[in-house]
Structure 1
Amino acid sequence: MYIIKNALRNIRRMFTKNILIAIIILIVGFSCVVSLSIKEAANTARQEGIDAVNITANISYDRQKMMQNMQPPTQGEQDGTSQEDMRDKMRESMQNQNLSLDELEVYAKADSVSDFYYEKTMAIGATEIEAIESSSSENFGGPQGMPGRNDEDTTYVEGDFSLVGISSVNALSDFTDGTKELVDGEYLDIEKTHTVMISEDLATYNSLEVGSSIKLQNPNSESETYVVEVVGIYSQVSDQQMMMRQDPANQMYTSANTIDAIEAKTASDNPLTSQVKGTYVLADVDAYDAFSDEVYELGLSDDFTVQSMDVSMYEQSLAPLENLSSFADTFFLVSILVGGAILIVFQFLRVKDRVYEIGVLRAIGMSKLKISLQFICELLIITTVSLILALGIGAATSVPITNQLLESQSVSTNESEMQNMPGGMPQGMGGRQSSEPSGSFIEDSVQSVSSATNWTVVLEIMVIGLLLTIVSGGVATIFIQRYDTMKILQQS
């Protein structure tokens, strides 16, 4: 008790010098509070956001791995034969890049999968109606990435329309995410066949309405036709367009049963085939990670990979916050090192200024340990008061500071990503083109937080304060142990 009373007395006696120490600790503490609050905000935003994301995953051919395995011929082998062999190998690999529905359903049996649905995409023609053509439509292969059959030795013709057959209403993700919306009629009944949903542009262009009939046609056999009924008309809410052979307005939605019926009806010499895309619904990120391992245990080739746009896009949206968190780590480390060094210097100077006091206390019988504890107690009281103020100020300002820094970081990150993408396209939107960067990185990124300082930050700050007090107080202890009482009194 005497040590505490004497410590309080000395703090009041040397008020000016102790105020300076308190201000330094306050600044260091405030810096640490803001740094730790930014990290906590990043962790909280990540966890809350990922918990709210509906995670779906797809299995796709790993083209990057294929290209890495395709070693170009060396300079000594630069002849037509070696290059042609490499092309043949690449063509063979490209032909084996699609999984069948049976294979996709095998992986749907994984314990981590909560639901599975698929869509079949077919390029098809039509009579009596015309496809919409736009200047933005370019030859990038078949619809939705289907490889076109344009070999020199074949006369196969791709259809002007993209027919997408769905196995579940959950496959209509464009409608649930707001990219498209139903403006007339009703959604598809997946149990029915020969019904379609068409775009509003296509309906207007060909004077079609709900109830109208469309005669689809095998573009390689004019005698093969398939009549379907329009049950719904949708509009494209987003102005972004897919880089595909057909204008997006030429896309028709139908049931997977309709696709199966058309494939069964086509002649064997001019068959219409579809490409299957399976979607796996997963409960959370842990389930996604488990699924990524389970598919290979179920027999998936290493040439394929599991990807989730939901996880990828959310991770991308956190980039500004993660960058800010990394900056906070650096700022925190610098604050601790600089603040700790300054406190050590101040403790050394305090001991030097109070040498005579130390000699008197030793002369009246106080041990060196108790004198050291008194110096530590003084610093601990100053540190505690300063850190309480730092926590109060930091808690009140950490959210606006974090949001201001996050806004600047979002703009900086977006500009960097736009510069790195061809044609200024946003990252992750390489399959789109648009005159306006709508849907750009900055619009999708986390741009604000609602909370930052929490009890974890409070505990961490208190531990940091205690450690700084012990370390800087240890300096005082070392010097006090070296002093000789008689020499101090004689010199004074």
Structure 2
Amino acid sequence: MYLIKNAIRNIVRSKGKNLLIASIIFVIGLSCCIALSIKQAANTAKEEGMDQLNITATISYDRQAMMQDMQPPSEGSEDESSSEDSREAMREAMQGQNLSLEELQTYAEDSNVNDFYYTSSLSLNSNDDLQAIESSSQGFGGNGGGGMGGDTEIMFTSGDFTLLGYSSYDAMSDFVSGSSSLSDGEYFDLESDDQCIISEDLATYNSISVGDTITLINPNNENETFELTVTGIYSMTSTQGGLQMSDPANQILTNTAVVDSITATSADNSENEDNSSYLESTIQGTYVFSDVAAYEAFSEDVYDLGLSDEFVVQSADVTSYEQSLEPLNNLADYANTFLIVILVIGGVILVVFQLLRIKERTYEIGVLSAIGMNRKKISFQFLSELFIITAISMVLAIGVGSATSVPITNALLENETTTTDTSSDSDFPSGMGGGQMQGGPGQSGGMGMQSTNYIDEVSSATNLTVVIQILGISLLLTILSGGVAILFVLRYDPIKILSQND
């Protein structure tokens, strides 16, 4: 107890110098508090966001990996003659890139999957009574059953409309999220084989009302027609900008039974007429998970169930959320670097100050040793002085840091969000906005662009974890700088000190 009281008296007696040390420690503590709070805010936002996220995933062909493995030789190389063979191999590989419904359902039996639904799409034309708002006869897009064409280019026969069938109402993600809604009539019956809903724009453009019948045509066979009854008209409450292969208003929504009926009829007609004009649907399965852990486990289990390495499991929900965290993660990286710099510089400054304090108090050390105080107690007294100063400074730093960490983090995050958004926009040609790829209502893989909604605000930053980390840092700084002082104290010879003073 005497040592503690004496340490307090020494602090008060040399309050000017100790106040300077306290100020340095306060600045170090405040900087550490803000830096650690930013890192903690990023971790908390990610964990809370992932817990609240409704995670869905799809299985798709890894076309990019295939392209890299089959990269044709460059012009002028010795293997240039095999370039055409490489392209042909690519075309053949991409022809078998869709999984069957049976395969998708097999993977849905994994214990990590909470639910499974799918969509089935066709590309169709129309008669003179139904006109597309914007039509395109060919391009990269829906598969009308025409297959690959050309020797060096990959082209698909595409109709004016996309008929998109859902296996359940839960599969209608745009309607579930509220970005699309039914404005007139009612949804199609999941068991019907002739019902659909169309967009408001398409209905207005063709003067179609609920209850009317529309006729769709096989783009490969004009004599093959299919009639559907419009039971409802939907509106898209969110607009989409950027490059798109077709207007999303040209999507006609129905159930998978309708798509199956059309493909079956087309296949029967094709067999009877002995041609290859039949329609073939594209199936996209969606798996629903309770949390990220289940999604990650499924991503590994699915290969044990027989999925080829040519396919990958992807979650647009997880990817989109991780993209929204980009500014916050960048800020956390900057904070981590700043924290390391502060600790290194601050530690060096404290060590230097402690050396100067010990040098100034060598006579005091000699007197204490002469009256019988051993070196361990002297060292403990110096360490106690520094610990008291550090404790008071860190308490103040934590208090100020807790009050200012949120507004400072939000101010820095706003600036980082603007920088990130500008950087994303610069990756695209003039007139095109940055962001992630987004399809039309309920359909993934479209060519529309939707800007990423970055997280630009946090509600909390400093918590118990940050406080514990700061206390650990203060203890480390005390031991480091105080340890240097102790080493010098142990080196001093009291008789030599007193004799030199005389």
TM-score w.r.t. the length of structure 2 is 0.91
Match of 2:332 among 322, 325, 330: 325
Q: Is it true that 1:299 corresponds to 2:310 in the alignment?
A: no
Q: Is it true that 1:428 corresponds to 2:436 in the alignment?
A: yes
- Is the deviation greater in 231-240 or in 84-93? 231-240
Aligned length: 483
Deviations 1:348-402 (A, max 9, x none): 1111111111111111101111011000000100100000000000000000000
Q: Which residue of 2 aligns with 1:201?
A: 201
Q: Which residue of 2 aligns with 1:151?
A: 149
Aligned partner letter, 1:224: E
Q: Look up the SS of the partner of 1:379 in the other structure.
A: helix
- Is the deviation greater in 384-393 or in 477-486? 477-486
Change (3 A) 1:324 1:152: closer
Shift of 1:433: 7.0
Deviations 1:65-93 (A, max 9, x none): 111111323634355x5222112111101
Q: Look up the SS of the partner of 2:130 in the other structure.
A: coil
Tell me, in whole angstroms, the C-alpha distance in 2 between the residues paired with 1:445 and 1:146: 37
Is the CA contact 1:141–1:147 (under 8 Å) kept in the aligned structure 2? no
Deviations 1:121-151 (A, max 9, x none): 001223342322439x6953233x7786463
Shift of 1:262: 1.2
Match of 1:273 among 276, 280, 304: 280
Tell me, in whole angstroms, the C-alpha distance in 2 between the residues paired with 1:252 and 1:433: 17
Deviations 1:176-214 (A, max 9, x none): 233322111122221222100101111111111111111
Is the CA contact 1:51–1:284 (under 8 Å) kept in the aligned structure 2? yes
Shift of 1:26: 0.3
Q: Look up the SS of the partner of 2:202 in the other structure.
A: helix
- Gaps in structure 1 of 5+ consecutive residues: none
Tell me, in whole angstroms, the C-alpha distance in 1 between the residues paired with 2:241 and 2:220: 28
Q: Which residue of 1 aligns with 2:90?
A: 90
TM-score w.r.t. the length of structure 1 is 0.93
Is the CA contact 2:40–2:461 (under 8 Å) kept in the aligned structure 1? yes
Change (3 A) 1:402 1:147: farther
Q: Look up the SS of the partner of 2:436 in the other structure.
A: coil
Tell me, in whole angstroms, the C-alpha distance in 1 between the residues paired with 2:429 and 2:214: 39
Tell me, in whole angstroms, the C-alpha distance in 2 between the residues paired with 1:28 and 1:146: 66
Q: Which residue of 2 aligns with 1:372?
A: 379
Counterpart mapping for 1:34-433 below 5 A: 34-73=34-73, 75-77=76-78, 79=80, 81-134=81-134, 139-143=138-142, 149=147, 151=149, 158-240=158-240, 245-266=245-266, 267-268=269-270, 269=275, 270-423=277-430, 424-429=432-437
Deviations 1:382-436 (A, max 9, x none): 10000000000000000000000111111111111221234543242387777xx
Shift of 1:241: 5.2
Change (3 A) 1:158 1:330: closer
Q: Look up the SS of the partner of 1:420 in the other structure.
A: coil
Aligned partner letter, 1:451: S
Q: Which residue of 2 aligns with 1:452?
A: 461
Tell me, in whole angstroms, the C-alpha distance in 1 between the residues paired with 2:420 and 2:124: 42
Aligned partner letter, 1:263: T
Aligned partner letter, 2:141: G
- Gaps in structure 2 of 5+ consecutive residues: 439-444
Tell me, in whole angstroms, the C-alpha distance in 1 between the residues paired with 2:387 and 2:324: 42
* RMSD between aligned residues: 2.2
Is the CA contact 1:317–1:445 (under 8 Å) kept in the aligned structure 2? yes
Q: Is it true that 1:467 corresponds to 2:468 in the alignment?
A: no
Is the CA contact 1:242–1:432 (under 8 Å) kept in the aligned structure 2? no
Aligned partner letter, 2:78: E
Shift of 1:51: 0.9
